[in-house]
A and B are shown apart, each in its own frame.
Chain A
Amino acid sequence: MTAIDPAAEAHLAEAPNTPALLGPWALMWRQFRRHRVAHVSLYVVGFIYLVALFGEFLSPASHLATNTRAPFAPPQGIHIFTEAEDGTRTFQLHARGLKMEVDRVAMRRHFVEDPEKVIPLGFFVEGFEYRLLWLIPTNRHFFGPRDPKQTVYFFGADRLGRDILSRIIMGTRISMSIGLVGVAVSLLVGVSLGGISGYYGGWIDNLIQRLIEFLRSIPTIPLWMGLAAAIPLDWPPLRTYFVVTLIVSMIGWTTLAREVRGKFLSLRREDFVVAARLDGLSDWEIIRKHLVPSFASHIIASLTLAVPLMILAETSLSFLGIGLQPPIVSWGTLLKEAQNIRTIIEAPWLLVAPGAAIVITVLALNFLGDGLRDAADPYAQ
């Protein structure tokens, strides 16, 4: 304890007297943390993207594996203690096997949990083979039945007996990445068009503004439906994925372009821009070195708010059957399984589980974007 670094000590002693000089990003972070819901949402969003990255590791079963003996199997609960014959309880995470019963009156099959059949569960269990992060071949899974031959449906199964939980986890990857890729496209288009519009002004500004007004004045869904319906069904999934992403990114860029234009207009006459121009910097250098950094935080906030819009757009299109097509698994294609009221009444988990995933994600992203927007201008007060 004696060997305290003298420099650190001096720093500690000095700290209370001098107000800390914080950079703009540190100020933003401080402001952001005050918005408590947004702060929590940051971790939720981070968690969701982690789920997207480590999808195979987290899913207890293969999302494509069908099971003819478990169509519409209900969600199975996790039980903690097993009870022996003599009534002693032992700790053992387990699920109970499903027994099919036929209701002769209603002429329907339904499943009941069979307390006799104990399926032990555990962490880091063996399961199907996959490559972790597309690199490391392994067959370990975070949580699931100890016996790789068993399947436990934590969130129920769909009409082909596929595990909904695994499908939601794998769908996270598609749905979340559509949001990201779509936002990247809007960023590119929005910032360049908005920048040109605001920096040069004049007729080109007028043209771009009219284009934006035009795009905003027409109802989006019929147009998207038209565009999405034009995607041939026999295209490879990857190409469909990119075209759908392009279609949904068409909404995002107009808002962004307007925001960037407004910022350019207000900053164009600022002293530091004039000084840079007199210093002989080219337009491009001024934009890149001085203008963009000064409103980058605003752009990040609007981008965050655009992601949920795109996720919702993809979901809606896929739900209508004109966006992504099976076998691609996204939250939208999952909800497509719950399209008619009969299915929902028989198997509510088809609606509830993917629906909850969407709502939680969109809420978290909205809160996060809200917090970022508030924090984007730390000098405001």
Chain B
Amino acid sequence: MGGFILRRVVYMIPTVFLVSIVTFIIIQLPPGDYLDSLAAEMGEAGVDNTAVVEQLRAQYGLGEPMYLQYWKWMTGILLRGDFGISFEKNLPVTDVIWDRLGWTFAISLLTLAFIWAVALPIGIYSAVRKYSVGDYVATFFGFVGLAVPNFLLALVMMYVAFKYFGQSVGGLVSPEYIDTPWTWAKFANLLQHIWMPVFVVGTSGAAALIRIMRANLLDELYRPYVVTARAKGMSEFQLLLRYPVRVALNPFISTIGWILPTLVSGEIIVAVVMNLPTTGPLLLRALLVQDMYLAGSLILIVSMLTVIGTLLSDVLLAWVDPRIRYQ
């Protein structure tokens, strides 16, 4: 097991390295940089700015060739934990991003829990009661869940919540709780809000997992060992949970690997629509104004955390299934 984990971690290093390079290239792609737009803005205001801009450019090393900039940025991160500076906010990137990243991952993990809690029982039900009314309903909602884009569902939910339930929409807490210290009332208020993004982000994932669980379990349900156990007089419920479901769970766990990236992606887009204090709106804004170190750090950290999450799911899978461990 130790060897397996070690091997996976070593495999991860080139991936992370590639992610950092790709990220850097992407944030360098737009022609010009933040200082250009700043200079244009100041020029419109009639301020002579060449000296200031040149000084800033030298300070951030923006005129240098790309590999040198990349080297500076990377060494800063690795040696000093310094992700550079957010031009627009004029703050170190680290001051801006951490609590937002925390929320993104909190919502993504909650969503994962939600998906499991929904997909597991429904998947089992649809497999055991194949072609029943409940199975058809689950299948239908599964397809609809896959067909509705996240942001559209978010808009519809916000509309319904606002129009028919009079709930304040957008944000994770009601306006009066923003910037107040944490209390039970604020926590309760948070719970009233957070279910909506969790539900919206989770629908498509849950839909996919229900299909997977159903297919896996159907492969197992008619195997001879199930028949044998039934012949020996085991109660149906116990039998189901103890053998076929356990076998069917394996592919279920391995799906975390691909579901986590989609959850993070979904969360980012839904956050823009619902105006959540997570990475989504921050990243969009940073990309639009070419606040490149902020955008780059966000993409980098989100991707890295996702890669680590995938690693964890692989380890979990290896722990559950010895066949993978000894490959």
Contact = CB atoms under 8 A, between A and B. Distances in A.
Mutual binders A and B: yes
Interface of A: 210, 213-214, 216-223, 225-227, 229-230, 232, 308, 312, 315-316, 319-322, 335, 338-339, 341, 344-345, 348, 351, 355, 358-359, 362-363, 366-367
B284 A217 contact: no
Contacts of B264: 219, 221-222
Given A226-B23, A316-B150, A348-B159, A219 B262 contact: yes
A218 B147 contact: no
Contacts of A366: 143, 146-147
Interface stretch (B51-59, B61-69, B162-170, B184-192): B162-170
Among the interface residues A222, A335, A351, which one has the most CB atoms of the partner chain B within 10 A? A222
B15 interface: yes
A360 to B, nearest CB: 8
B265 A319 contact: no
B147 A363 contact: yes
A321 B287 CA distance: 11
A253 to B, nearest CB: 16
B265 A221 contact: yes
Nearest to B295: A226
23 contacts: A210-B14, A214-B19, A216-B261, A217-B15, A218-B307, A219-B262, A219-B306, A220-B262, A221-B264, A221-B266, A225-B287, A227-B26, A308-B147, A322-B284, A335-B152, A338-B155, A341-B155, A341-B170, A348-B159, A355-B152, A355-B156, A358-B152, A366-B146
Interface string B148-160: 1111100110110
Contacts, number: 126
Contacts of A322: 284, 287-288
Q: What 7 pairs across the A-B complex have the smallest Cβ distances?
A: A221-B265, A230-B29, A229-B287, A226-B26, A362-B147, A219-B264, A219-B261
B140 to A, nearest CB: 10
A48 B120 CA distance: 36
Nearest to A339: B273
Given A225-B283, A227-B29, A351 B310 contact: no
Contacts of B26: 223, 226-227, 230
Given A214-B15, A351-B159, 5 more contacts: A213-B15, A221-B268, A222-B302, A230-B26, A335-B152
A363 to B, nearest CB: 4
Nearest to B144: A363
A227 B150 CA distance: 20
A42 to B, nearest CB: 16
- B interface, size bucket: 35 or more
A252 B26 CA distance: 20
B27 interface: yes
A339 B273 CA distance: 7
Contacts of A217: 15, 257, 261, 306-307, 310
B76 interface: no
B18 interface: yes
A214 B139 CA distance: 31
A320 B284 contact: yes
Interface string B259-272: 00110111011001
A220 B261 contact: yes
B29 A216 contact: no
A229 B292 CA distance: 11
B156 A222 contact: no
A341 B151 contact: no
B288 A229 contact: yes
Nearest to B15: A214
Contacts of A227: 26, 29
B156 A220 contact: no
A234 B158 CA distance: 34
Interface string B4-48: 000000000011001100110011011100000000000000000
A218 B284 contact: no
Given A232-B30, A341-B162, A222 B265 contact: yes
Interface in B286-304: 287-288, 295, 298-299, 302-303
Given A341-B170, A362-B147, A232 B31 contact: yes
B258 interface: yes
B170 to A, nearest CB: 7
Contacts of A218: 19, 22, 261, 303, 306-307
Given A222-B265, A341-B170, A359 B144 contact: yes
Contacts of B272: 320
A155 B66 CA distance: 51
A269 B259 CA distance: 34
A319 B284 CA distance: 12
Contacts of B269: 221, 316, 320
A226 B287 CA distance: 6
Contacts of B148: 359, 362
A351 B307 contact: no
B151 A316 contact: yes
A222 B155 contact: no
A345 B169 CA distance: 12
Contacts of B158: 341, 344
A316 B204 CA distance: 15
A345 B159 contact: yes
A204 to B, nearest CB: 17
Given A322-B287, A358-B152, A226 B299 contact: yes
B163 A345 contact: yes
Nearest to B204: A312
A227 B163 CA distance: 37
A219 B147 contact: no
Among the interface residues A316, A341, A362, which one has the most CB atoms of the partner chain B within 10 A? A341
B155 A359 contact: no
Contacts of B19: 214, 218
A213 to B, nearest CB: 8
Contact of B18 (A214, A321, A339, A358): A214
Contacts of A319: 151
B260 to A, nearest CB: 8
Nearest to A37: B143
